[in-house]
């Protein structure tokens, strides 16, 4: 009884031991390892051709996991992979391809990273809750994979290429391409000849252009030198002008002082004449003077009527002819003067003489104006004295009548003088005076810049 119990117990223990060994072997075949943890990820492929459960998963060429499940949907195939151990950290930026080892080998999944992790220890554990899914592949992540070229696709591509190569249309296209290539080769040969001719022409043109450029550069250099020389001459001229201005500064100041004195003299004369003009007797004299002017205008009108007679017109025509002859003689004299004034020194002497004469004329005009003013003042004084000593009664009327007769007599005498002056003037030739002209030395720049010391000042008051 006891031996039977022992035998039955031994059989039961043997059966239990066999079951444990069988279960352990099964788990080992399934990859179960209590000491090695793993994490799972899902990869989506366009198709799962050649993939099987248990196929290896390689990361950087090393087997780090295997395919645990394959599911098919309407648009893609999902493949679950299990990466073991869990300490293997795979970056998120990777390329996942389904490849085949050899022509008839098994299909496996290859994972290739596209970037390096800066700090792998700071990314965390793929099984932890704080795993950063943007940096690494965590437990339960979804990835996108691609299929590489399989043997079936390669065989189909070879068959399609063989069919295309053996078609008559392909051979026709090849022959057309060959003919076109031959024509293109002939065109290239012709083009090469034209390019050779063009290169020779361009070489000759470039030589001419380089020579022209060299000549232009030489001309520019010469122009630059001339400009530099001209600039130096301008600088010297400016320095000379500054020196002349500095030397004649005193003369300019004295000239301005003379002008100021002249203005003061004119103001004093005006202030002296103002009271005389404001007096009533002077105004009466002005009225008398205006009446005399009206009478003189009437006399001039009569004179113009007398001159308008045919005899006088004939005399005027003869006078114009004489003037024309005189102008012709003046032109001849001018041509002689042009020959005479060919010397620059002589022209400068003439210029100085003209400037002196212009100053003298202006001084003469000023003297005439002052003389007229003095005569007006004298006539005013005489009129005032005559008014004070004028007789009354018949003697006054007799004196006035005598003055009127004297004015009429003077007017008739003026008419006779005007008529006698209208006569024919015959042009007379001018003598050649070129040999009699005195030699005049050329004025210096200092003489031209010192008008107040050399020429009479037109604004200087005239001493009576």
* Predicted local confidence at residue 434, as pLDDT: 41
Distance CA 31, CA 36 (A): 10
Q: What DSSP element (H or E) covers 366? A: helix 344-388
Which tens digits make up the pLDDT trace of 208-223?
Answer: 888 888 888 888 888 8
Tokens coding 213: 């450029």
In the predicted structure, residue 193 carries a pLDDT above the cut 70: yes
In the predicted structure, residue 204 carries a pLDDT above the cut 80: yes
Tokens coding 79: 């493949």
CB-CB contact of 97 with 146 (8 Å):
yes
Three-state DSSP string of 74-141? CCCEEEEEEECCCCCCCECCEEEEEEECCCCCCEEEEEEECCCCCCHHHHCCCCCCCCCCCCECCCCE
In the predicted structure, residue 443 carries a pLDDT above the cut 70: no
* Predicted local confidence at residue 388, as pLDDT: 64
Which tens digits make up the pLDDT trace of 139-149?
Answer: 889 999 998 87
CB-CB contact of 151 with 103 (8 Å):
yes
Which tens digits make up the pLDDT trace of 242-271?
Answer: 777 777 777 777 787 887 888 788 777 767
Q: What are the beta bridge partners of residue 79?
A: 43, 70
* Predicted local confidence at residue 57, as pLDDT: 93
Residue closest to 437 by CA, chosen among 326, 361, 337, 332: 337
Q: What secondary structure letter does DSSP report for 463? A: P
Residue closest to 149 by CA, chosen among 139, 140, 161, 158: 158
At 94, the pLDDT band (50, 70, 90 cuts) reads very high
- CB neighbours of 456 closer than 8 A, spacing ≥ 6? 356, 359, 360, 363
Which tens digits make up the pLDDT trace of 408-433?
Answer: 555 555 545 544 443 433 444 444 44
Chain centroid to CA 91: how far?
60
* Predicted local confidence at residue 157, as pLDDT: 83
Q: What DSSP element (H or E) covers 376? A: helix 344-388
Mean pLDDT of 281-298: 77
Q: What secondary structure letter does DSSP report for 34? A: T
Distance CA 131, CA 91 (A): 12
* Predicted local confidence at residue 440, as pLDDT: 40
In the predicted structure, residue 167 carries a pLDDT above the cut 90: no
What percent of the chain is modeled with pLDDT above 90?
A: 9
Q: Which of 86-95, 123-132, 229-238 has the highest mean pLDDT?
A: 86-95
At 405, the pLDDT band (50, 70, 90 cuts) reads low
Mean pLDDT, the chain, rounded, equals 75
């Amino acid at each position: 009884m006891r031996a039977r119990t022992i035998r039955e117990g031994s059989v039961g223990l043997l059966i239990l031991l066999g079951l444990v060994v069988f279960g352990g072997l099964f788990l080992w075949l399934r990859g179960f390892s209590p000491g090695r943890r793993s994490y799972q990820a899902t990869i989506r492929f366009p198709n799962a051709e050649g993939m099987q459960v248990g196929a290896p998963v390689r990361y950087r060429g090393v087997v780090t996991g295997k395919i645990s499940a394959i599911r098919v949907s309407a648009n893609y195939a999902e493949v679950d992979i299990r990466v073991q151990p869990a300490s293997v950290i795979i970056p998120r930026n990777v390329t996942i391809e389904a490849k085949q080892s050899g022509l008839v080998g098994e299909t496996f999944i290859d994972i290739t990273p596209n970037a390096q992790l800066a700090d792998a220890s700071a990314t965390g554990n793929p099984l932890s809750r704080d795993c950063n899914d943007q940096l690494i592949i965590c437990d339960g992540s979804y990835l996108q994979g691609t299929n590489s070229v399989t043997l079936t696709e390669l065989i189909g591509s070879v068959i399609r290429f063989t069919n295309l190569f053996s078609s008559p249309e392909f051979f026709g296209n090849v022959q057309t391409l060959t003919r076109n290539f031959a024509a293109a080769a002939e065109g290239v040969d012709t083009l090469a000849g034209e390019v050779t001719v063009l290169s020779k022409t361009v070489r000759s043109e470039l030589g001419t252009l380089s020579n022209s450029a060299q000549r232009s550069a030489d001309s520019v250099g010469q122009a630059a030198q001339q400009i530099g020389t001209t600039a130096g001459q301008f600088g010297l001229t400016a320095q000379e002008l500054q020196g002349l201005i500095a030397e004649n500064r005193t003369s300019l100041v004295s000239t301005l002082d003379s002008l100021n004195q002249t203005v003061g003299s004119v103001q004093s004369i005006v202030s002296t004449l103002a009271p005389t003009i404001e007096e009533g007797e002077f105004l009466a004299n002005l009225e008398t003077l205006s009446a005399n002017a009206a009478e003189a205008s009437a006399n001039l009108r009569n004179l113009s009527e007398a001159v308008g007679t045919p005899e006088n017109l004939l005399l005027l025509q003869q006078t114009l002819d004489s003037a024309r002859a005189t102008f012709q003689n003046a032109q001849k004299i001018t041509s002689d003067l042009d020959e005479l004034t060919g010397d620059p020194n002589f022209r400068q002497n003439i210029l100085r003489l003209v400037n002196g004469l212009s100053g003298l004329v202006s001084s003469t005009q000023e003297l005439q104006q002052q003389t007229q003013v003095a005569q007006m003042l004298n006539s005013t004084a005489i009129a005032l004295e005559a008014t004070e000593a004028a007789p009354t009664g018949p003697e006054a009327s007799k004196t006035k009548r005598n003055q009127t007769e004297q004015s009429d007599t003077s007017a008739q005498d003026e008419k006779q003088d005007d008529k006698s002056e209208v006569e024919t003037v015959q042009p007379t030739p001018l003598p050649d005076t070129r040999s009699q002209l005195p030699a005049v030395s050329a004025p210096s720049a200092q003489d031209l810049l010192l008008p107040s010391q050399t020429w009479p000042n037109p604004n200087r008051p005239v001493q009576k």
